[in-house]
Amino acid sequence: MTTNHQSTRGEPRVALVTCADLVDLDPDDRLVLAPLKARGISVATVVWDDPDVDWSSFDLVVLRSPWDYALRRDEFVAWAATVPTLVNPADVVRWNTDKRYLAELSAAGVPTVPTSWVAPGERWQPPAETGEYVLKPAVSAGSQDTGRYDLADPDHRDLALAHVRRLSAAGRVTMVQPYLRAVDTEGETALLFLAGPDGLTFSHAIRKGPMLTGPDLGPDGLYKAEEITSRSARPEQLAVAEQTLAAVPGGTRQLLYARVDLIPGPDGEPVLVELELTEPSLFIGYADGAPDRLAAAIATHLGRVINSAS
Among all residues, which ones are annotated catalytic?
231, 259, 276
Three state DSSP letters for the chain: CCCCCCCCCCCCEEEEEECHHHCCCCHHHHCCHHHHHHCCCEEEEEECCCCCCCHHHCCEEEEEECCCCHHHHHHHHHHHCCCCCEECCHHHHHHHCCCCHHHHHHHCCCCECCCEEECCCCCCCCCCCCCEEEEEECCCCCCCCCEEEECCCHHHHHHHHHHHHHHHHCCCCEEEEECCHHHHCCCEEEEEEEEECCEEEEEEEEEECCCCCCCCCCCCCCCCCCCEEEECCCHHHHHHHHHHHHCCCCCCCCCCEEEEEEEECCCCCEEEEEEECCCCCCCHHHCCCHHHHHHHHHHHHHHHHHHHHC
